[in-house]
Amino acid sequence: MTSQEQSQAFYLAETVTLIGKNFLSDEQITRDLNSIVDSIMHTAPEIINKKWMDIYLYCSNHFTDIDNMQHYKAFNTYQERYSQYKSLFI
- How far is it, in rounded angstroms, from Cα 22 to Cα 75? 11
Instruction: Let me know: does 32 contact 58? Beta carbons within 8 Å.
Output: yes
Using only the alpha carbons of the chain, give its radius of gyration. Answer: 13
pLDDT band at 90 (very low <50, low <70, confident <90, very high): confident
Per-residue pLDDT of 48-89, as tens digits, reads 999 999 999 999 999 999 899 999 999 999 999 999 999 999
Domain residue extents for the chain: 3-89
- Helix, strand or coil for residue 6? helix
